[in-house]
Amino acid sequence: MKRSIMVAGLKVLTVFRSLAVGLLLLTASRAAAADGAEEARLAVPVAARSMVIGRFNLLLGAEPGVLMGGTPGAFLGVLPLRFGITDDLEVFASPVVQSVDPILHEPDMGVLYRVIRGPVEVGARLASDLSLFGQVRSARLLLGVPVRIHVGPMLTVDLGVNTSLALIPQSEVGLLVPLGAAFNITESVFVRVDGAARIQNVSAAGSSFGIPLSAMLGYTVASSNRPFLDLAARAIWDDVRSAGTFSVVASGRLYLYL
């Protein structure tokens, strides 16, 4: 039963992504025809890239993985998507399909706007965390102020503050304070670590506190002095205090310049 639901979810997700990408391509091509300006370029080193992807730049990803220490044989797939509407505005999504409940989950879909440029970038972020196809349905809004600090061309530090507003199954207010860093060993080889202090419900801070963490090692395939493909392996802990339960993910992210 779960397998059939998962297959159906994948088919729906594939159709949705095809329609979304087609619409984005059409919108971008029309805008590009009306505006002859050169598209924004991304830096090859991950640590040198800005917090936004850049105007008319498109990221399409596929990240299959396996859940370790939990349900035996549980698999997951993440399909990240980013599209730059302007040099400072982008939309993003990262639907998750997995073989355990919830079968289909959208933990991060929304919009990011860069307010301040430069070596210290500041943005405004609105995202949603939706799980509407599991046994327990949930919906949450996340409002945040991300900050990216460029410490030279090969090191970047990310921090900020986010407030979460749960709507389903019950109303509650949460807090997320992220801290991460990306370091390029060479122009193409990179390491990235992201963590956070998370409180799901501020009225029950002690029992809802967690420390999510992810670590990534990757390689960038460049083309024409800009990234073409990021290949990486990543380990993800929903709460590092439960170190025996984590996910191992292989990541491929393709960059298109429209």
pLDDT tens digits, one per residue of 155-175: 999 999 999 999 888 899 999
pLDDT score of 67 = 84
Contact 176, 162 (CB under 8 A): yes
- Residue 219: which CATH number? 2.40.160.40
Phi, psi of 12 (to 5 degrees): -60, -45
**Average pLDDT along the chain:** 84
Cα–Cα distance for residue pair 167/42, rounded to 1 Å: 37
Question: How would residue 33 be classed by pLDDT, with cut points 50, 70 and 90?
Answer: very low
pLDDT score of 71 = 66
Q: What is the CA radius of gyration of the chain?
A: 18
**Burial bucket for residue 63 (CB in 10 Å: 0-12, 13-18, 19+):** buried
pTM reported for the whole predicted model: 0.80
Residue with more model confidence, 239 or 99: 239
pLDDT score of 72 = 63
Residue with more model confidence, 153 or 25: 153
Cα–Cα distance for residue pair 36/16, rounded to 1 Å: 30
User: Per the structure, how many domains does the chain have?
Assistant: 1
Indicate if the pLDDT at residue 5 is higher than 50: no
Mean pLDDT of 228-253: 91
Q: How far are the Cα atoms of 24, 49, 135, 183, 222 from residue 227, in angstroms, in the given order? A: 20, 10, 40, 16, 4
- Out of 5-14, 204-213, 239-248, the most confident range is 204-213
Find the domain containing 128 and state its range: 2-257
